[in-house]
Amino acid sequence: MSKGPNLKPCEIREAMFSKIAATLAVAGSAAAASVSCPADLPYSCANTTVVEDLCCFESPGGAVLLTQFWDTAPSTGPSDSWTLHGLWPDNCDGSYEQNCDPNRAYTNITAILQEKAPCTLKAMHVYWKDYKGNDESFWEHEFGKHGTCMSTLEPQCYSNYQPTEEVADYFTRAVDLFKSLPTYDWLAAAGIVPSSTATYTLAAIQAALTAHHGHEVVIRCSGSSLNELWYHYRVRGSIQSGEFAAVEPVGSGSTCPKTGIKYLPKYATSTPTTTTTTTTTTTKGSTPTPTATSVPTGVPGVLAGKGYIKVLPDGFMISTGNWYRASGTPATFTATPNDDGTAFTLETSKGPCQILADASLSCAPANIQTKFHVNGKSSYYRTPRASTLPLCPAARTRGSFTSRQRLCRCSCTGNRCRQ
């Protein structure tokens, strides 16, 4: 028996809404649906004869790019993920059109997506960031400049078209494609990680990305610093429901030098405006206990914003909730106060953070967020005293983080803590 996709609750709801809308459209309601396309169409930019139906064939912008940023000055998005720049319809020769329909240059992208694609919007708040802090303006620019030039997103390509219907399709497809391109992980697997001192060659970066994408990627630098990637595709069918196939780049090429490329860490010299930094203190063989080094003003005892969780004296937390005592980059944790301001939750790029039954910290998609509190300089969570003691860290350089109401000073005899 085949296993279905592992969808997050928000994605499940959105998938259900899509199925309901499609059912209503078939039944003849006013719900909009994109046209159904034949399965035997050629890929964009690969046709040998003229294709008349441009609702099922992306033209003239059939060379589609998914572009990503690595912003460090200022930094944007999670410290262990690239961010989304846009989804662009270049012409088959590498040239491009822009701002094709001023009447659809919408100025309320957030409101549109809140209604039509809330899961997509949630992801965009994390991964589609403007370096000036104005995400809405950035999204408006991307759709107005590029989305309006996609032939398969034209209003006539929808039955019972409702204004702004194509906006949700554009951003949802861009986010879904972005999720299939975990650039940070691909580079890290090849030993290419952010560093203030190390440099890399263009050939090494290209090899790491090509190994996963299947084709070369346009690698762009600001000076000698890596800051943007362009992944190239052709599409069979429409942007909203078609099949994307990776291809070799056309048009503008890589701009990085062959050697000496810097891949700078995010948030290396300063933290975001709303950042608070939380640290955890350990002794050799002990279980980390969180310590807040900066409590934001306004709501005493509650953390808010983005920051790192460090394990003192020489470690840090990664996005899964585990800790490292080694070189690398700490994950960005987002602290969100609850409605009454008495507690806060934590989340990383991997998902909500929860204290599990074994008292370990986990950040994963299916988790139910634990409510944390700050008491002076110590972060903690309220829970009945556990009947079993947590495991000690499994290794000197990495391990599971265990959060308890008081510091568990442990000896590792039998791999269990002793108070």
Which one of the listed residues 142, 165, 166, 216 is annotated catalytic? Answer: 142
Place of tokens 């004869």: 49
Give the burial string for 99-130 (b: 16+ CB within 10 Å, else e).
ebeeebebeebeebbeebbebbbbbbebbbbb
Helix residue spans in 253-301 (DSSP H): none
Residue 255 CA, chain-centre distance (Å), reads 25
In angstroms, the Cα distances linking 212 to 185, 186, 194, 209 are 11, 7, 19, 6
Contacts of 111 (CB under 8 A, 6+ apart): none
Q: Side-chain half-sphere of 345: how many Cα atoms within 13 Å?
A: 16
To the query of whether residue 216 is one of the catalytic residues in this protein, the response is no
Place of tokens 């719900």: 31
How far the first Cα of the chain sits from its last, in Å, is: 48
Contacts of 288 (CB under 8 A, 6+ apart): 280, 281, 282, 311, 315, 323, 401, 402, 403
User: Nearest Cα to 338, choosing from 379, 306, 301?
Assistant: 301
DSSP one-letter string for 19-57: HHHHHHHHTT-S--EEPP--TTPPPTT--SS----TTSB
- CA dihedral of residues 8, 14, 19, 22 (deg, nearest 10): -150
Which one of the listed residues 140, 146, 165, 216 is annotated catalytic? Answer: 146
To the query of whether residue 228 is one of the catalytic residues in this protein, the response is no
User: Nearest Cα to 106, choosing from 91, 94, 96, 116?
Assistant: 116
CB 90 within 8 A of CB 250: yes
How many C-beta atoms lie closer than 10 Å to residue 166's C-beta?
27
Alpha-carbon gap, residue 68 to 78, rounded angstroms: 13
To the query of whether residue 141 is one of the catalytic residues in this protein, the response is no
The catalytic residue positions are 85, 142, 146
